[in-house]
Chain A
Amino acid sequence: MRRILNIVALGAIIVAGIGTYAVNGEQNQDDWMLHVDSNEAVWKNRAVRLSATDMDQSGQDVEVSIEGSRFVNGSYIDEVMQYRSDIGGQDRSFARALKQLNYAQQIKTEDGYVAIGQKGQDTLVLLQSRDGNMVERTEFPNVQSIVDSGWGGMFVYDGTVHIVYNENYELTNQHVAVLDVATTTIDTKKIERDGVLIEYVMGETWGFALGDGQRTTIGKDNRYIPIQATRLETVEADDGEAYSEHMSLSGLYVYDVEENRVVSLDVEQEAIATNVFGDTYQALLADGTETNINLKTLTETSRTIIQDEVGTASYYDGLLYHVSPTEDGAKVDVYDGADLVSEATVTGKEVNPDSFQYYVY
């Protein structure tokens, strides 16, 4: 009997300790809710992510959607299930082929998926797929100078894949490579430099996989390619020694494929959100204006979308999701062009709204 008491005593400690941990240790994601006031259709496959920004509100990021709320890093089982639903079955063959390559990057065009990556030290691989299922693979051997360089991104123009790269990882030595699939050869030319350089090409995805809802279709005959521009600046360190550092430039820039140079679009303001789809380059600027640039002609149209203060914003499927903090959470307005097409609110229990960051994806 005395021995059984040992089991009971230790068992009671375990139940009490683990029990209080299980009850009190978990935060409650159900404190957060997304309420869509109008047009629920634009919230399909969309979610608002909340991250705490100050120390008092530490904890995990929460994701709220019309289906409910969940921790971004939930249990291992939740994460695996989420991964399965994010990376759908349809384009798995393409993603699997891409996973074998290093430095993989991909875009989606009207003709399907296009991706490049590296195999070994001197082979570049091009993957193309119409449906994400049947994958066409082309190898370009003996191109060590391109493989062993910093890649700034890819785009399709005139039916051929182009890669922007910095030879020997030197930003000032920027080239564009044109891949000829028929002969498996690559032509390269140096990009004319006028102070401004290409940091990266916009609209592409790095890595092998991403949820289908987050990929936009990019035109394959755009003469102007949206880029993040950068400039080399000479900085003097405290010890008096000068060195050069590259600084990302605000404002909008494109790379002109035909002229082989970077063009500034005469927009000085910072872009809060940008989006590339089809032949359109869309950007929400810091003053609440949205500008649309035609990437074939470079014609530009602007309109004021947000009258008040601009919060955080992101584009999906051509719609603009604009989040502004409120007293008990955040307000999300969805715009299609200049029209407000949906209003939604995110509410939390006992939260200090300033201590959270909201992001739609």
Chain B
Amino acid sequence: MNLLKLIGWELDRVKKIYGLLLGVLITIQFGWLAVFLWRNTVLNEEYRREGQSLLVVFHSYLMSTPYILSIGIGLIVMLVFSGWIWYREFWGRGTFMMRLLTLPTKRIQLFISKFITIMMMILGLIAVQWFALVIEYQIFTTWLDGQGIRQQDTFADIRQLDVFSLLYPTSFVNFIIHVMLIAFVVLTIFTFVLVERSLWQRTIFSPLVSIALIGGVLAIPSTIFYVIEQYLFMDELALILVIGFLFSVATLTIIARQYLQKKLSV
């Protein structure tokens, strides 16, 4: 119950800014869709007068700068937020963190609640983006049909864009694997912050120490993989990758837990 309360509390604190982020992204995407469709309608009229016809593809809307930008904003905000969710507790001489650390719950629950909060926000973004894509495609086809403008591609084509093949792979198993990789990135950022915050009063090199520690952990499986790569086949390498992934997750979790429970003080 404590964990649920903590997650609910974390979500309550980010509710407004998260809503704002979603609003900005949706405004950019739908605003740009309106501009895109309007431009093509005008262009089609010009073509029609010259006796030609225009062909529009959904892909060129997705591949445009404003659209890619909206995805990029979402990505960067979530990366920054994964660090900020911890850093903000240390503002005001760490009074907030002090209260959190003295809560009658285990410190690791703080970690878990923040982790789940971030993952929920990321999954929420992915879900909202899916709805947005479906609606955008509906508007796109309905408008072009209404205007009698030819179009060619299908909704399935969205996967030709790298970012969407990552977010919405054709196989759901791959989706789960991608989400696990995203969770790994969040875990890495969390570990960095906790190590850095535990050391910052003792050394000004705390960010460097933290990066070196995490880099060292990740370097072990990476080096092994690099060295034995040429001797193994794809299925054997996949097994090594899974072991390396599990090793990294376990080690980073142990480090983060250790620093949060034993070393962190304000």
Contact = CB atoms under 8 A, between A and B. Distances in A.
B120 interface: yes
Given A18-B127, A18-B130, A10 B120 contact: yes
B126 A17 contact: yes
Contact of A17 (B4, B8, B131): B131
Contacts of B4: 4, 7
Contacts of A59: 156, 170
Interface string B65-83: 0000000000000000000
Contact count band on B: 35 or more
B130 A6 contact: no
A20 interface: yes
B157 A58 contact: yes
A22 B172 contact: yes
B246 to A, nearest CB: 16
B103 to A, nearest CB: 15
A95 to B, nearest CB: 7
A56 B152 contact: yes
Interface residues of A, number: 43
A141 interface: no
B153 interface: yes
B11 A17 contact: no
B1 to A, nearest CB: 10
Contacts of A57: 154
B124 A76 contact: no
A30 to B, nearest CB: 14
A58 B156 contact: yes
A99 B236 CA distance: 14
Interface string A185-224: 0000000000000000000000001000000000000000
A2 B5 CA distance: 10
A136 interface: no
B156 A55 contact: no
Interface string B228-245: 001101110010000000
Interface string B207-238: 00000000000000000000000110111001
A7 B124 contact: no
Given A18-B126, A18-B127, A80-B235, A25 B168 contact: yes
Interface string A92-115: 100110011000000000000000
A75 interface: yes
B32 interface: no
Contact of B235 (A6, A21, A83): A83
A18 B123 contact: yes
B170 A27 contact: yes
Nearest to A84: B235
A170 interface: no
Contacts of A60: 170
B120 A17 contact: no
Given A3-B8, A18-B127, A83 B234 contact: yes
B234 to A, nearest CB: 5
B252 interface: no
Contacts of B153: 55-56, 58
B238 A27 contact: no
A238 B23 CA distance: 54
B27 interface: no
Contacts of A68: none
A241 interface: no
Contacts of B231: 96, 99-100
Closest 3 interchain pairs by CB?
A17-B127, A3-B8, A75-B173
Given A27-B170, A209-B233, 8 more contacts: A4-B5, A14-B126, A16-B131, A18-B123, A55-B153, A75-B172, A78-B173, A83-B234
6 contacts: A3-B5, A55-B154, A60-B170, A75-B173, A75-B174, A78-B171
